[in-house]
Amino acid sequence: MLTAHLPSGDVLARLAPKGRWLMPAALIGAVLPDFDMLWFHLVDQGSIHHHRYWVHVPVFWAAIAALTLPGLALFARTLLAPALVFFAALLLHMVLDTIGGGILWGAPFDDRLYTLVEVPAAQAHWVLSFLLHWTFLLELGVWALALYLWCKGRRV
């Protein structure tokens, strides 16, 4: 997914029950894994698919959630809802990345990148290949839903 992670977090927060800090938690969770692009470009020089980094591995975030959520439920209950939305946004990020990019859903037992649709390298640059593939319509759909919910929320 190229462009729709941020609006997907916006949609998630707007559809969640109302609460404090849900929008920032959703927006951060929706884009956080892709900050690995800095490491991908600056350190690894693009030699490893960035979806193989730990921030794109579902079991990593499941372990973090399993460690933090019980503590929040017991000792910082006001942070529980934002944390749940944050982890939901992370999960949504990886689900959306599965459409055309591949995610290590079987890690650590399986090192295959699972993807729903193979986007062929049909253009000179990989970004163009993704932009001109039908799956980009799904991204536009996420943007349209975010815009719709934003407009609807402004009228209430």
Q: Which member of 13, 14, 34, 79 binds Zn ion (CB under 5 A)?
A: 34
Nearer to Zn ion, 39 or 148 (CB): 39
By the rule CB under 5 A, 33 interacts with Zn ion = yes
**CA-to-CA distance for 65 and 10, rounded, in angstroms?**
21
Stretch of 19-27, 31-39, 68-76, 128-136 lying at the interface with Zn ion (CB under 5 A): 31-39
Restricting to residues 52-71, name those near Zn ion by CB under 5 A. Answer: none
Q: How many CA atoms lie within 13 A of 15 on its CB side?
A: 11
Q: Which member of 26, 97, 130, 142 binds Zn ion (CB under 5 A)?
A: 97
Q: How far is CA 16 from CA 21, 23, 70, 78, 114, in A?
A: 12, 9, 20, 15, 28
Stretch of 8-16, 23-31, 90-98, 118-126 lying at the interface with Zn ion (CB under 5 A): 90-98
For the bound state, the minimum distance from the C-beta of residue 103 to Zn ion, rounded and expressed in Å, comes to: 8
Phi and psi at 92, nearest 5°, equal: -60, -40
Q: How far is CA 46 from CA 41, 42, 102, 127, in A?
A: 5, 8, 16, 14
C-beta separation of 102 from 51 below 8 A: yes
C-beta separation of 9 from 82 below 8 A: no
For the bound state, the minimum distance from the C-beta of residue 98 to Zn ion, rounded and expressed in Å, comes to: 10
By the rule CB under 5 A, 139 interacts with Zn ion = no
Nearer to Zn ion, 54 or 148 (CB): 54
Nearer to Zn ion, 21 or 49 (CB): 49
Interface residues toward Zn ion, by CB under 5 A: 33-34, 97
